[in-house]
Amino acid sequence: MTVKPFPKTAFKYLIYECILPCKWPFLICMILMFIETNIYNLLNWLIAQLVESLKSGVSIEALHKALWFVGIVAVCEAINIFLRKEAFLYRQKNLYFSVQDRIYGRALSYIFGHSVNYIINKQTGTLLAKTKQINSIQSTFSILLTRFWYWISDIVLKIFLLSFINIWLGVLFLVCSVLVAVVNYYANKASNRLNKMQSKAEALYTGWLVDVISNIRLVKQFNRINYEKKRLYTLLRQFIKIKVSTILVWFSSYTGVSCFIHLCSIMMLMFAVYLWSKSLINVGDIVFVLLTLNTGFMWLSELGINYRQFANNLAYIQAGLEPFYDAHEIEDLPDAKELKVKNAEIEFRNVGFSYSEQKKIFDGFNLRIKGGERVGIVGLSGNGKTTLINLLQRAYDIQSGEILIDGQNIKNVTQASLHQNMAIIPQETVLFHRTLKENIAYGINVSDKKIKQAAKVACADEFIKALPEGYNSIVGERGCKLSGGERQRIAIARAVLRNSPILILDEATSSLDSEAENIVAEAINNLLGNQTVIAIAHRLSTLRKMDRIIYLENGKVVEEGTFNQLAKKKNGKFAKLWKMQQLKERN
């Protein structure tokens, strides 16, 4: 199933990916917030009325009135506390959780939908950092609802209540609020730009760090710890430098905005006193103005911090979105069918392919492999052997021609069904940091007995049994606790269990010494059944059992025939290579 890319801007992402899919919980949260602000302002109003009622002096009547007010204030406060708790729980459960759940799910599906080429071209760490960045959504939501929305409803209500006391008080408060918001916006513009730079610098540093840690063996072998440290420090320093500048710029703007807010408060208070002196408002009203200024402008002074956090989050999300709006390079067609394999006949028809414009790897390449045929591919390094099997797996799309399996163009079938029908033993066996059992079964639900049988076929049972934890041994990151030959045999056992109609071996024995090579070659022979086999090899001796061998040069088949035919061919390229290898082995 194709997954839609994410919108390109953080703001659209917020609207279309987060708010709209959860519009009802979002609306309910807004209403709950609105009720909260109402109660809060009602409390201020009641306190102001209480002060006003006390003004008339001590009497039984005034005392009764005051007690009534205190009682109502107490009840309102209790309701407020209860409501705040309920609103908080509702937000967490029905909004934040479901939004995060959705976003994580979408992000994972989208990342996995990218081609291998895309993923290997990005640093894993950078991808990880970016996935994390788009999930700054919870705090973004929290700011939107519990800050911006709360603040807007609060200000609107305060303007309404102040206007009720005296229209000019309301107008002045409105003007001050707008001015503070505008000043805030401009004061934060500079730090917003820095925020974006900061999140980019962080992703770069994290990407580099993960790359170095995952290649730590190489780093140590080449004694390059200081070299890597130096590069990491440079990136880290860049990141910290931007971070510090962001904080400094923000702090100066925050101080400026705070001064402006205080100025507005003093102005409003002076105006309230003036109205009182003209007997246009009473003492209770001045108390209300005081309380309003206190809470209202407190929000306004926090607006800067919240806006900064919000802008920071948006910048984070924006930087994190990149792999999520890059279109998938290889997609299933909308009407893609399942690949149906009967004979497993493979045909490359007029295939043209290049990684870049400068160099064509294949140009009009033709090769037909009959169902059940075993074909060995030979050729000097860099002549396109691995590329050929990558194309068969549709790791890249070809630029011209067709690749057919049992007459079905691999472009017209689903990638899942294509991969399902192939078992691959790659040159570099990759194992997960999991048990040997899990690595062999890899996602197939089979009994321990079957796993052992497969390991026996792959000549791996003996060495696995000798390990302290046997089949439950953890193999270390990328299988680092096993030897090259052992890793290969695990890969072969995996292929045995998979039992696919097409088997691909990419130089399965090239990195091994003769003894290990013999064991692996035996394992491969055990594996071979009646499936179609494509085997790439530098060690030609491993190809003796193949029905046909093709010699690839510059993306063209320059020789083909059985092992013996090619080995005997006068001035043949294969024969020359074979002679050289025999000589080397004898020496």
Ligand X SMILES: Nc1ncnc2c1ncn2[C@@H]1O[C@H](COP(=O)(O)OP(=O)(O)OP(=O)(O)O)[C@@H](O)[C@H]1O
481 or 538, CB closer to Mg ion?
538
Least distance CB 508 / ligand X (angstroms): 12
Outline where 375-424 has alpha helix (H): 385-392, 415-420
Least distance CB 358 / Mg ion (angstroms): 20
Least distance CB 401 / ligand X (angstroms): 17
The Cβ of residue 259 has, within 10 Å, a number of other Cβ atoms equal to 11
From candidates 138, 292, 383, 408, binder to ligand X by CB under 6 A:
383
Least distance CB 503 / ligand X (angstroms): 18
Least distance CB 127 / ligand X (angstroms): 17
Place of tokens 């788009």: 134
Check binding of 387 to ligand X (CB under 6 A): yes
Residues 99-158 touching ligand X, rule: CB under 6 A, are 117
Least distance CB 386 / Mg ion (angstroms): 3
386 or 526, CB closer to Mg ion?
386
Q: Which listed option, ligand X, Mg ion, none, makes contact with residue 304 (CB within 5 to 8 Å by class)?
A: none
From candidates 284, 323, 384, 401, binder to ligand X by CB under 6 A:
384
25 or 384, CB closer to Mg ion?
384
Strand order in the sheet with 502-506: 422-425, 502-506, 532-536, 374-378, 548-553, 556-561
Q: CA geometry: angle at 341 spanning 340 and 345, to 5°?
A: 135
Contact 309, 148 (CB under 8 A): no
159 or 398, CB closer to ligand X?
398
Check binding of 379 to ligand X (CB under 6 A): yes
- How many chain residues are in contact with ligand X, going by CB under 6 A? 11
Report how far residue 290's alpha carbon sits from residue 161's, in angstroms, rounded to the nearest whole number.
13
Report how far residue 283's alpha carbon sits from residue 269's, in angstroms, rounded to the nearest whole number.
12
Least distance CB 386 / ligand X (angstroms): 3
* Phi-psi domain of 541 (left: phi exceeds 0; alpha: psi -120 through 50; beta: other): alpha
171's tokens: 């107008």
Report how far residue 305's alpha carbon sits from residue 187's, in angstroms, rounded to the nearest whole number.
11
107 or 391, CB closer to ligand X?
391
From candidates 38, 139, 245, 386, binder to ligand X by CB under 6 A:
386
298's tokens: 């407190």
User: Which residues 6+ apart lie within 8 Å of 360 measured at CB?
Assistant: 352, 353, 354, 555
Report how far residue 40's alpha carbon sits from residue 150's, in angstroms, rounded to the nearest whole number.
11
Binding to ligand X by CB under 6 A, coded x per residue (else -) over 334-373, reads: ---------------------x-----x------------
Q: How far is CA 56 from CA 51, 65, 66, 249, 464, in A?
A: 10, 11, 11, 52, 94
From candidates 114, 385, 437, 452, binder to ligand X by CB under 6 A:
385
37 or 383, CB closer to ligand X?
383
Q: Which listed option, ligand X, Mg ion, none, makes contact with residue 387 (CB within 5 to 8 Å by class)?
A: ligand X
Binding site for Mg ion (CB under 5 A): 386
Beta bridge partner(s), residue 505:
425, 535
387 or 500, CB closer to ligand X?
387
Contact 383, 540 (CB under 8 A): no
Spacing of C-alpha 202 from chain mean position: 15
Report how far residue 161's alpha carbon sits from residue 292's, in angstroms, rounded to the nearest whole number.
10
Check binding of 429 to ligand X (CB under 6 A): no
**The CA-based dihedral angle spanning residues 524, 527, 529, 531, taken in that order and rounded to the nearest 10 degrees:** -80
386 or 417, CB closer to Mg ion?
386
Contact 257, 304 (CB under 8 A): yes
Check binding of 382 to ligand X (CB under 6 A): yes
Stretch in the footprint of ligand X (CB under 6 A) among 89-97, 340-348, 383-391, 513-521: 383-391
Least distance CB 356 / ligand X (angstroms): 6
428 or 462, CB closer to ligand X?
428
| Residues contributing to the site for ligand X (CB under 6 A) | 117, 355, 361, 379, 381-387
